[in-house]
Chains A and B, each alone.
Chain A
Amino acid sequence: MPQLGSFSLLVGLALSVYAFGAGLLAIFWDDDRLGETARRAGIGIFWAVTSASAALVWAAFHNDFSLAYILHHSNRALPVAYKFAALWSGQEGSLLFWCWLLACYGLVLRLRYKVDTRLVAHASVVISAVQIFFLLLVNVPAHPFSMTPGVVPADGNGLNPLLQYPEMVIHPPMLYLGYVGMTVPFCFALAALIMRYPGEKWIHITRRWTMVGWLFLTCGIFLGSYWAYRVLGWGGWWGWDPVENASLLPWLTGTAFLHSVMMQEKRGMMKVWNMWLIFCTFLLSIFGTFLTRSGVVSSVHAFAESNIGPYFVTFLAIIFAACVYFYIKNRSHLESEHKLESLVSRESSFLFNNVLLLVAAFAVLWGTLFPVLSEWVTGHKVTVGPPFFNKVNIPIALFLLLLTAVGPLLAWRKTSAESLRRNFLVPGIISLLSGVALVAVGVRPWQDMSYFYSTVTIMLSVLVAATIVSEFVRGGLVIARHNLSNQGSAWQSNIFYGMYQLTRRNMRRYGGYVVHFGVIVTMIGFAGVAFYQNTEKELGFGDKLEIGHYTLVCRSYTQDDQPNYSSERAIMDIFRDGKQIDTMYPEQRFYKASGQPATMVANRSTVLEDLYLVYTGKNPENGKPIIKAHLNPLVWWIWSGAHFILVGTLLALIPNAQARKQAAAQAARAAARQPVATGAI
């Protein structure tokens, strides 16, 4: 099997070189048959990389420790799901997984070539170039099928205990689907620029692909946060670690693109800006991968240091040079058809939104790289941690939240003062009332900056929610009245049916509103950080620990021994107002193969707060277990907001009812014409 894997990787590399070279020549010579061979070679890459990946998974399942990768990332007692996850747990395997996902995307792109044959032919050449790079990596510096030197041990070193959680089985694939997914819009954008693509079809294709990549990236980021919260045991979900930041960078620029692309579609503006946003999103995806894998910055999540850094730097330089070259060569093709007419308009709100998102991306990138810069300039390394990122990014996030409320209700081109007053008076009053309500329940924003931020966040979130609801209600009412005047049934004249019809007519717009709603729900969850509490205590049998309105009583401790690990866990009875409401089991595990300990957090989540217990270890002096308790308000809202974001994005991906009808009618017309055409031949 290892030989099959190695051979498949070589075949994959050869096919990608052919797909690139033949595809390029087919474009130059305008040779369709050569182009078709290049397309089929591209499809062949998928099969080659799939068999290589299958060979590695097979080796993991069969405990083939003659492979160095399997020896270092698996062991006999490892549960089946985690053996599968071993594919992306180490440097070499995760790069192979990256290649496989890229091959999957490449397969879809090449199978859907009829969308636009010439555009796909150009995009296929670009994606082949990216495939060459990644297949080169897994064939030379990060070969996953390297053999174990010397005598093969009877058992492997095991998987890192922190990775042995269900979330970790799905988080990396989602994140990688997002990172790799950004390659496809990049390929289409560069292809459109190279061939000076006439019309705007390419931007529609690119937007949909970006939404797919963005959806997976968002999913991956939230799953990563959830994993950090439930597994790492520090009570938080985002630590501004360089690897976390690396995932945020393409997400921010991708978000900016998904907004500004509307200006190009609707008004033929911002063509250069959009092109560079797509380029930057792809470059930042690769840059993030470089950060994770090169050891340039220290991180909790980073892979082991390796020699692949220079490969990534070279690749980034080549891609950047190609983007600059084709932009300079064909920039006349990207001239705007319209100019902005007013500062108070939908266009300018998109511009401000884009600028703020890019400033946030810069601030994150700057903070991530500043330690390297500082060491280079002064010779001393400094730490740039959460206090820096929070201080710089929270104000930017609040302004973005304000724009989320204002932007969608502004008209294209110009908005009158009367329209502004009409749209924002009621939501503004509701938002102010929410601020008054917060003060009434005891929040004192003037006492502490974090309270101030939380209050403003909640007020702005209420403002956004009110504007979204008013949009749905007004639109729903208009349709309901229209249905009523057209003798529609009682059901069709209902406002809720009107809202449903409204959404079906413009899935993208109303899906976008659902995404915005998810963002504010998440932001309310973030606002809870200001009110968190934590405490730590050594607890013997019957000892009590108090946090907030909870009293925790240690009932007992148990021990367990499994093939993969041994564990100790506390049995904690939870009381509220003198009444027992739950029993929680914080646990500590010791993984035998890796010899590493890990915590299993016990979490009781409600809409208002999470009671989060960690078994942190034993006091070495008296042997008493130490329990750490966190009371984290509003965390439930973060994960709920993520669900809204995902549902909203999926809604926005569904074509409008009218567009589907038109497409069906077109297909029917084409089918009706077909026999005539066949007869003519």
Chain B
Amino acid sequence: MNRLRKISTHWAMLLMLASVLLLMSAAGDPTGQRFDRLGHGLMCTCGCSQILLECNHVGCAVSEQMRKELKEALASGQSDDAILAGFVTKYGPTVLSAPTNTGFNRVAWIMPVVIFLAAIGGLVWVVRVWQRRSRAQLAAAPPASAGAEGELDEFRRRAREETEL
């Protein structure tokens, strides 16, 4: 029974890890519309540090021009990659709103996943070590003397304390 429980715990953990990795790696497509998706993948270069489609500068000439260029590029039938590459050539790499999955930029994406896996793995390892120590301590402890009122009181106190929250 214990073995079965252990196996099911392992599978539950693996399922959790797999689903978080799947969620993290899934490619998002916020609206399904290319203009909206690409417009949210670009930054306005007027200095406002905002997403191209969300630049709130009243009468911002830069974002207006960039949106026009994006519409023209879409109308010319270019692929998403070609359109983004065109913007990078014209405005520099900071025009992209997120790091690309190339070169050193990959580190930006990999690190949170690595930290997540290391943290969860480390936590499971620590808990297992604690469990082992706890069992060893229990095994080494002298058997409890039944009917010892003081000890019972202590257990009652602990039960009250630990079930209060």
A residues with CB within 8 A of B: 232-236, 239, 241, 262, 266-267, 298-300, 339-344, 346, 348, 351-352, 355, 358-359, 362-363, 366-367, 370, 374, 377-378, 380-388, 390-392, 394-396, 398-399, 411-413, 417, 447-450, 452-453, 506, 508-509, 530, 588, 597-599, 614, 616-618
Q: Is the CB of A449 within 8 A of B28?
A: yes
- 8 Å CB contact of A395 from B23, B115, B127, B130: B23
**Residue of A298, A385, A530, A598 with most partner-chain B CB within 10 A:** A385
Q: Is the CB of A599 within 8 A of B56?
A: yes
Residues of A within 8 A of B107 (CB): 370
CB proximity to A under 8 Å, residues B105-125: 105, 107-109, 111-112, 115-116, 119-120, 123-124
Interface pairs A-B: 9 shortest CB-CB: A395-B23, A385-B97, A617-B59, A339-B130, A234-B54, A387-B98, A597-B58, A388-B98, A363-B112
Q: In the docked arrangement, what's the CA distance between A479 and B123, Å?
A: 38
Q: In the docked arrangement, what's the CA distance between A233 and B56, Å?
A: 6
Return A335 CB to nearest CB of chain B, in Å: 13
B28-53 vs A, Cβ < 8 Å mask (1 yes, 0 no): 11111000000011010000111100
Q: In the docked arrangement, what's the CA distance between A530 and B119, Å?
A: 30
B65-102 vs A, Cβ < 8 Å mask (1 yes, 0 no): 00000000000000000000000000001111111000
Dominant SS at the B interface?
A: helix
Q: In the docked arrangement, what's the CA distance between A239 and B132, Å?
A: 46
Known contacts A232-B56, A355-B119; decide if A374 and B105 are in contact (CB<8 Å). yes
Known contacts A232-B56, A362-B112, A599-B58; decide if A352 and B123 are in contact (CB<8 Å). yes
- 8 Å CB contact of A348 from B32, B103, B127, B134: B127
**Residue of A340, A384, A506 with most partner-chain B CB within 10 A:** A340
Q: In the docked arrangement, what's the CA distance between A518 and B162, Å?
A: 26
Q: Is the CB of A387 within 8 A of B54?
A: no
Residues of B within 8 A of A232 (CB): 56
Q: Is the CB of A362 within 8 A of B115?
A: yes
Q: Is the CB of A449 within 8 A of B123?
A: no
- Can you give 14 contacting A-B residue pairs, CB < 8 Å? A235-B54, A266-B161, A267-B162, A339-B130, A342-B131, A343-B131, A359-B116, A382-B105, A383-B43, A383-B96, A383-B97, A392-B24, A399-B20, A453-B23
- 8 Å CB contact of B30 from A234, A235, A413, A530: A530
Q: Is the CB of A366 within 8 A of B112?
A: yes
B residues with CB within 8 A of A: 5, 9, 16, 20, 23-24, 26-32, 40-41, 43, 48-51, 54-56, 58-59, 93-99, 103-105, 107-109, 111-112, 115-116, 119-120, 123-124, 127, 130-131, 133-134, 161-165
Residues of B within 8 A of A344 (CB): 9
Return B120 CB to nearest CB of chain A, in Å: 6
A339-B130, A395-B20 known; 13 other A-B pairs, CB under 8 Å? A239-B54, A339-B133, A341-B130, A343-B127, A359-B116, A367-B108, A374-B108, A378-B103, A391-B98, A413-B162, A449-B28, A506-B165, A599-B58
Known contacts A377-B104, A385-B98, A599-B58; decide if A392 and B134 are in contact (CB<8 Å). no
Residues of A within 8 A of B54 (CB): 234-236, 239
Q: In the docked arrangement, what's the CA distance between A598 and B109, Å?
A: 36
Known contacts A239-B50, A374-B105, A383-B94; decide if A341 and B99 are in contact (CB<8 Å). no
A233 (CB) vs chain B CBs: closest residue: B56
Q: Is the CB of A387 within 8 A of B97?
A: yes
B122 (CB) vs chain A CBs: closest residue: A355
Residues of A within 8 A of B41 (CB): 387
Known contacts A382-B94, A388-B98, A450-B30; decide if A399 and B119 are in contact (CB<8 Å). no
Q: In the docked arrangement, what's the CA distance between A618 and B58, Å?
A: 9
A399 (CB) vs chain B CBs: closest residue: B20
Q: Is the CB of A381 within 8 A of B29?
A: no
Residues of B within 8 A of A614 (CB): 56
Q: Is the CB of B127 within 8 A of A340?
A: yes
Residues of A within 8 A of B165 (CB): 262, 266, 346, 412, 506, 508-509
Q: Is the CB of B29 within 8 A of A382?
A: no
Q: Is the CB of A351 within 8 A of B40?
A: no
Residues of A within 8 A of B119 (CB): 355, 358-359
Q: In the docked arrangement, what's the CA distance between A588 and B97, Å?
A: 28
Residues of B within 8 A of A616 (CB): 58-59
Q: Is the CB of A340 within 8 A of B96?
A: no
Q: Is the CB of A241 within 8 A of B104?
A: no
Q: In the docked arrangement, what's the CA distance between A391 and B99, Å?
A: 12
Residues of B within 8 A of A387 (CB): 28, 40-41, 97-98
**Residue of B40, B94, B98 with most partner-chain A CB within 10 A:** B98
Residues of A within 8 A of B98 (CB): 383-385, 387-388, 391
Q: In the docked arrangement, what's the CA distance between A341 and B26, Å?
A: 36
Return A282 CB to nearest CB of chain B, in Å: 22
Q: Is the CB of A340 within 8 A of B131?
A: yes
Q: Is the CB of A300 within 8 A of B99?
A: no
Known contacts A299-B49, A450-B30, A617-B59; decide if A394 and B95 are in contact (CB<8 Å). no
**Residue of A267, A299, A449 with most partner-chain B CB within 10 A:** A449
Q: In the docked arrangement, what's the CA distance between A399 and B105, Å?
A: 26
Q: In the docked arrangement, what's the CA distance between A355 and B20, Å?
A: 14
Q: Is the CB of B123 within 8 A of A234?
A: no
Q: In the docked arrangement, what's the CA distance between A385 and B99, Å?
A: 9
Q: Is the CB of B96 within 8 A of A241?
A: no
Q: Is the CB of A386 within 8 A of B97?
A: yes
Return B49 CB to nearest CB of chain A, in Å: 5
Residues of A within 8 A of B96 (CB): 382-383
Q: Is the CB of B104 within 8 A of A266?
A: no
Residues of A within 8 A of B93 (CB): 380-383
Residues of A within 8 A of B103 (CB): 378
Return A633 CB to nearest CB of chain B, in Å: 13
B118 (CB) vs chain A CBs: closest residue: A359
Known contacts A235-B54, A382-B94; decide if A359 and B112 are in contact (CB<8 Å). yes
Return A249 CB to nearest CB of chain B, in Å: 14
Q: Is the CB of A394 within 8 A of B97?
A: no
Q: Is the CB of A447 within 8 A of B32?
A: yes
Q: In the docked arrangement, what's the CA distance between A235 and B165, Å?
A: 41
**Residue of A352, A380, A381, A387 with most partner-chain B CB within 10 A:** A387
- 8 Å CB contact of A355 from B9, B28, B49, B120: B120
Residues of A within 8 A of B5 (CB): 417
